A and B are shown apart, each in its own frame.
Chain A
């Protein structure tokens, strides 16, 4: 009980530093891997007939969706 009230009084980020750090890293990473174009700005390897550049951006969307879900679940734990 005392621990619970101490967590509340410390604020969600300081009470859950590891989860908060994971959320921050995931958010930065998911944006970075989309805007850092040198990572994927090439034609090969082709996936099927799709040049790598186009395949990467298309396949990245479900990945972003998944990462957003993970962030939401983790945030739920922090704010609970």
Chain B
């Protein structure tokens, strides 16, 4: 703790305490008659309006890791690996506008709590629903762990715990933060991150507005920032003997990589279970559509956050500090803030990143817990589970998920967590056909979708494993050469997935393989029920039709 700036540290601790109190107080916010129901604990009573939903979805989708990783990628490799995130958050909303209102309507009508509930009801298939649940949980675990990597980056730069060689002593502040997060999520459910999102987003907006106006004045202006970025990326790397990165993607291959990364990531984002959790917590259908027009404001902020990477390149002290830390680009933004901001404002900026980790981590843990409870525990082990038991199981599973993520972050090498998160994106994209196609048509056969999903997962995982660079033998990225073109692996896996689903659907239909019962009706996809449905009696499981 000898290198700690106590002004910065104190501000981070005070803001963390405020957030902690808010998390516990959230249990009384919009108080429910009975919190022991997943509609209440897991979806905040399904009653959030436009304003709360905007903060919740923004807090959910734009994570601490985004604030660290996107500028780090721009710092390290430029536009294709970093700025594509800006492009994908631009197109995600018009794409989501096509299908999210339908998902909301059908989920509201049938009291679906997870995306796998919908799949169970639509296709009458426990196997397909299980595939969705497992993919969701597995993809979210490293995502939660990466939120911790974001906190670790801030703690490292603040000098907290760096003097100890013992991992557990070194990461003690991280353990404390996560235990507190786990407890208030356990008590307050989705209400906690929804309320904390107000604080998080206010801090993030203040941080980025100040950074955008103040930092350029300290490092020579925007012209110098872009010139420094361009020169840095043009320099030949001594390891690869190629340019360090791409300032503007002008070659066909870099453009295709940029486009496919943007498109594939946009398709994946809104089928992540935590995104669906945020969507299903809203009280009316038009709140979803309205937010699809309002959320691009966050993307504008993300654009400037990405440019922090070039600001870091333009600041020689930050570049030197990153080099001293073993070239860890994840530390670029924290070092930039530490060097250029006064201590008290660095405290606010660091708090924004730390709190920015807690909100999505809580929602992701709740989403994973709901998937486990509804689509594994209730479906396969306890079909007569009461709403109270479901909620209890979810509460405990959310704790286990967070503990697992904590061990991930502490025990596994940082690069492994990052690679797993990249893989998570490829994995979750493979559930797109079963969810999104299912919202519009029942033409696809359930087993064909399952086979397509499996093929996509296997292909994507093997292709990602084979990606190598001169410094990394496996899992070195998420783009690969396909027929001579550099494309996002997730998207090529998705194309294979859909092709198999189409071919096998034709085969299964021709051979009259049972298609499973569909419990949904066409008009329910555009319905706008005012009240959340009454919970099903404990003895009746959701989606019992079919098998």
Q: Which of A's residues lie within 8 Å of B, judged by CB?
A: 27, 30-31, 34-38, 41-43, 48-51, 53-54, 57-58, 60-62, 64-65, 67-69, 71-72, 75, 79
Say whether B226 contacts A34, CB under 8 Å. no
Q: Complex formed: what's the CA distance from A50 to B289 in Å?
A: 32
Closest 7 CB pairs of A and B: A49-B222, A49-B223, A68-B293, A37-B255, A65-B296, A35-B259, A61-B300
Nearest CB in chain A: distance from B90 CB, A: 5
B297 contacts A42, C-beta separation under 8 Å: no
Closest Cβ of chain A: how far from B172's Cβ, in Å? 40
Instruction: Tell me if B91 and A34 are in contact (CB < 8 A).
Output: yes
The interface residues of chain A lying within 8 Å CB-to-CB of B299 are: 61, 64
Chain B nearest Cβ from A79, distance in angstroms:
7
Asked whether B221 is an interface residue with its Cβ less than 8 Å from the other chain, the reply is yes
In the bound complex, CA of A64 to CA of B292 (Å) = 10
Instruction: Assess the B97–A35 pair: CB atoms within 8 A.
Output: no
B186 vs chain A, min Cβ distance (A): 36
- Bound together, the chains give a CA A65 to CA B94 distance in angstroms of 9
Mark each residue of chain B from 268 to 307: 1 if its CB lies under 8 Å from any CB of chain A, else 0.
0000000000000000000001101110110110011001
B405 near A: Cβ within 8 Å?
no
Report if B106 contacts A (CB, 8 A).
Answer: no
If A38-B255, A64-B296, A65-B293 touch, whether A54 touches B83 (CB-CB below 8 Å) is yes
Tell me whether A27 and B221 are in contact in the complex, defined as CB-CB below 8 angstroms, given that A35-B87, A53-B248 are known contacts: no
**Chain A minimum-CB-distance residue to B93:** A68
B472 sits at the interface (CB 8 A): no
- CA A29 to CA B91, docked complex, whole Å: 10
Q: Is the interface of A mostly helix, strand, loop or mixed?
A: helix
* Cα A72 to Cα B86 with chains together (Å): 23
Contacting pair B221 A49 (CB below 8 A): yes
Contact-size category for B:
35 or more
B526: Cβ under 8 A from any A Cβ: yes
Write out the residue numbers on chain B whose beta carbons fall within 8 Å of the beta carbon of A41.
248-250, 255, 258
Task: Give complex CA distance A49, B226 in Å.
Answer: 8
- B222 contacts which chain A residues (CB < 8 A)? 48-50
B79 within 8 A of A: yes
Other CB < 8 Å A-B pairs besides A58-B304, A60-B90, 16 of them?
A: A27-B94, A27-B95, A27-B98, A36-B259, A37-B249, A49-B221, A49-B222, A53-B79, A57-B86, A57-B303, A61-B296, A61-B303, A68-B97, A69-B293, A72-B290, A72-B292
Chain B interface, >50% SS class? helix
A30, closest chain B residue (CB):
B94
B262 is an interface residue with CB less than 8 A from chain A: yes
Indicate with 1 or 0, residue by residue over B90-106, a CB within 8 angstroms of chain A CB atoms.
11011101100000000
A35 touches B262 (CB 8 A): yes
A65 CB, min distance to chain B CBs, angstroms = 4
Taking CB atoms, residues of chain A closer than 8 Å to B296 are 61-62, 64-65, 68
Known contacts: A57-B83, A62-B300. The answer to whether A27 contacts B97 by CB under 8 A is: yes
Q: Output the residue of B221, B258, B289 with the most chain A CB within 10 A.
A: B289
A69 and B230 CA atoms in complex are apart in Å by 36
Residues of chain A with a CB closer than 8 A to B331's CB: none
Q: Which residues of B contact A27 (CB under 8 A)?
A: 94-95, 97-98
Bound together, the chains give a CA A62 to CA B303 distance in angstroms of 12
Q: Which B residues from 346 to 360 make CB contacts under 8 A with A? A: none
Interchain CA distance A43-B79 in the complex, whole Å: 12
Please tell me if B263 contacts chain A, counting CB pairs below 8 Å.
yes
| Bound-complex Cα distance A34 to B261 (A) | 12
What is the chain B residue whose CB lies nearest that of A66?
A: B293
Q: Shortest beta-carbon distance, B102 to chain A, in Å? A: 12
Complex contacts, A51 vs chain B, CB 8 Å: 226, 247-248
- Residue among A38, A49, A54, A79 facing the most chain B CB atoms (10 A cut-off): A54
CB neighbours of B248 from chain A (8 A): 41-43, 51, 53
Contact, CB under 8 Å: B94 / A71: yes
